[in-house]
């Protein structure tokens, strides 16, 4: 039997000796689309930082594809799309070049790009509907289009689980609709996703499970329908929809290293 992409059992995460989130229990099955909600500073981003190795794992069990987190030599199985990024005019790179950087996690730094690498990059561009902009500089794209470039770069790593931090934040309504369609296509293809978001409405039709974090603890888990009922019967539940946590953002510079390995690679 294939191991679940991600399992957390009574997991604690924080920084140094300070626990930010405690008692997180979650099993993500292949094809699940899990939304993590929570008010400002609740700890929802600390959970994904812990999975990525950017926060300290302070207790409980965490397994990625059946391997305990502390035994992982690489987190290449995780594709990561940050909320804050620097696809700016300070670095001249085309859309295709940025997406292609995601393939570096799948080969040694000194190995040349292969035909298979190029094929996967083109497939990722097609998924996010940016093939026609592949040769343009990313600085010429809108914020929503740049977010889709980051999704394509993460897809190019061929991850077993795709983690996204606020994918629809900071872009206009039209871009949110396009992003939701992109994520919907990924969901239909069976992509396993873990999404930190405060805008569940845009993703309501693709999310299979909702996890709510409050004061460093999980206070709700269930389907979207169950979450809607939870909001109706617990008006304070609306506090789960808040913008940008007080926690420090995870930033990922545009570099020659792939998105999810520049900060998480272990050797």
- Cβ distance 19 to 12 under 8 Å? yes
**Is residue 257 assigned to a domain?**
no
Task: Kindly report, residue by residue over 99-151, the tens digit of the pLDDT.
Answer: 999 999 888 878 899 999 999 999 999 999 999 999 999 989 988 999 999 99
8 Cβ contact partners less than 8 Å away, ≥ 6 residues apart: 24, 25, 26, 27, 47, 60, 61, 62, 63
CA atoms within 13 A on the CB side of 87: 30
CA atoms within 13 A on the CB side of 222: 10
**Is residue 37 assigned to a domain?**
yes
Domain count for the chain: 1
Share above pLDDT 90 across residues of the chain, in percent, rounded to a whole number: 60
Residues of the domain holding 117: 6-252
- CATH code where residue 229 lies: 3.40.50.300
pLDDT value for 233 = 86
**Is residue 132 assigned to a domain?**
yes
Place of tokens 């989130």: 21
**Is residue 267 assigned to a domain?**
no
pTM: 0.83
SS3 at position 121? helix
**Is residue 224 assigned to a domain?**
yes
**Is residue 221 assigned to a domain?**
yes
**Is residue 259 assigned to a domain?**
no
Inform me whether the pLDDT recorded for 222 exceeds 50: yes
């Amino acid at each position: 039997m294939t191991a679940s992409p991600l399992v957390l059992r009574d997991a604690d995460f924080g920084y140094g000796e300070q626990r930010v989130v405690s008692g997180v229990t979650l099993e993500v099955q292949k094809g699940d689309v899990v939304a993590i909600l929570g008010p400002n500073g609740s700890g929802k981003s600390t959970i994904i930082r812990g999975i990525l190795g950017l926060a300290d794992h302070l207790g409980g069990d965490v397994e990625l594809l059946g391997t305990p987190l502390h035994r992982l030599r690489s987190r290449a199985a995780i594709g990561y799309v940050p909320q804050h990024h620097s696809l700016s005019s300070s670095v001249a790179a085309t859309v295709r070049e940025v997406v292609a950087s995601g393939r570096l996690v799948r080969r040694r730094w000194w190995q040349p790009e292969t035909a298979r690498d190029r094929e996967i990059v083109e497939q990722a561009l097609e998924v996010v509907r940016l093939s026609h902009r592949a040769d343009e500089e990313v600085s010429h794209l809108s914020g929503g289009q740049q977010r889709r470039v980051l999704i394509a770069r993460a897809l190019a790593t061929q991850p077993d689980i795709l983690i996204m931090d606020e994918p629809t934040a900071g872009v206009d309504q039209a871009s949110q609709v396009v992003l939701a369609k992109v994520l919907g296509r990924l969901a239909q293809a069976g992509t396993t996703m873990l999404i930190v978001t405060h805008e569940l409405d845009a993703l309501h039709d693709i999310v299979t499970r909702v996890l709510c974090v409050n004061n460093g603890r999980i206070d709700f888990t269930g389907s979207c329908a169950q979450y809607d009922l939870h909001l109706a019967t617990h008006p304070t539940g609306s506090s789960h929809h808040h913008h940008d946590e007080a926690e420090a953002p995870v930033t990922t510079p545009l570099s020659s290293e792939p998105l999810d390995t520049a900060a998480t690679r272990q050797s």
